[in-house]
Structure 1
Amino acid sequence: MSYLTIGHLYTALHAACASGVARVIEANGEDVAYADLSADERLAALDEGRVDILVSAWFPQDDALLAHGHEILGSLYHPEIKLSALKKAGKGANWTVGEFTSLLTTAAAQPYLEKAMEARPELKELPLEVLAPEAVLERVKQAEEAGECPLIALWQPHAIFHTDMLAELPGGDLLAGQEQTARLVLRKGLRDEVDEDMLDELSIMMLSNKVMSALDYAVSVDGMGPEEAAESWQRGRLIPR
């Protein structure tokens, strides 16, 4: 039996995205398998044919994945990093760093935060906490309950953005206007092996940060399996249409 293998980073967010992509592939009569990968394993998995379609790729930061002739396809969503605060804190356009008690981020967002610190050295004055993505929601809940006012630098989509806890801060774009796009990567030669209509469907597939945050919440908070979450999204149960 032939099948296509979808590779993805081993997080709830990317597993759910892979399951969403799989539903399109399966609707076109193909069976699907999954491969959990670390960031450093992705290119080798494509080169060696262990993965046919890679879901977890953000461009331009992942341009190196195209070094060996693999092909990008579609535009699933546009990841962003914007400084946020608790909505209850009511921070407006004239916010200052001194109004916050700490700075929360993740390892993936930290390099972009460090660049922002070069332009705004006062950010370095805040105690920094680097959290695992799955720990962010609980830590922010704790901060809210304790009356803390953290400044938050976090990639979205993320489960926390499916809640109404956070508000983006004006002037807080840490990507400095550089758009990131989540795209599929087809291993070299795959286009000649599969149905063109299926690739056309994948090329126009759109998830959005809102949908991805809902999927991440469904898996990481509500405890759904990635496939169950993808089906719930497809049936309009995660986000009212």
Structure 2
Amino acid sequence: MTLPSRKTLLGNVLSLAAITWIYGGDLADALRARTADVSALVDLPSPIRPSVVLALAALATAVAVVGLVQGKVEGFKGFRLLPIVLVGALFADLVLAESRIPIDSTDMASMSLQRFHKLAQALSSQDAVAEDPRVLQPLLEELGRPPYLVHGEPLTAYALQVRKDCEGPVRDAPGVRPGTLLYCVAPERKGAWVTLVGLSAEKRFGAPELLSAEGKVRFLLVQPAIAEEDPAEPGQAFRDAAAESGAAFRDAPAPTAEGGTDGGTSSLQP
């Protein structure tokens, strides 16, 4: 039996492997997003496009196999189909990618967390931070919708849960829906830690958990406003916080079995 050159065979094998890896993964993600508790996706992906690419790849593979069985020579056009399918699919992806925003769910959620922190910080007085859910709730309208899917359905808006008498940021939030901002107020309203329920940066699918990266919960600290003529004394609360108003993320230990200590909870959802 006459075989095509090693270069031709290798090109077909690599093309088939690349198509299976890229578009098989896309199809698996599209199907899993429909059933996962939480998906780190802004929109529900369609299974149609990867299915079409995989079907064309299967057809091209069948033609190439028939050519091998029949002893077709190097010039047989069927040996060119798999590379053509791969290049054509990647080109279509490149064209479609021009209309997409190159930012993932973790980055979008982090930006929303920062935005809420900035707005909540603006409500702080010189003596205390805001804690009334009715005052904080309107801030959610500035955030848009959470970058997560729940069982394939997009979340329409963020939710807010206010906890009081906290000693630190919430470490765990079982039963809290994705897209919920946890605003944990310290005693005497001397500060408030803000966290978000979503997924860790390392996961695309899974059960709801606090937004985290590398095992550390992402949170921001809202502090009372400091008058320029009356700077804070070194011994005051939150002296270990960053000097700036809190634009950078702080890291907390990985979630444990216990949630953040709090003396009460107020929850508002759209």
Tell me, yes or no, whether TM beats 0.5.
Answer: no
TM-score by length of 2: 0.22
TM-score by length of 1: 0.24
From the two aligned structures, give the one with the greater helix fraction. Answer: 1
The one of the two structures with greater contact order (alpha-carbon pairs below 8 A, sep at least 6) is: 1
Computing the radius of gyration from Cα coordinates, the structure with the larger value is: 2
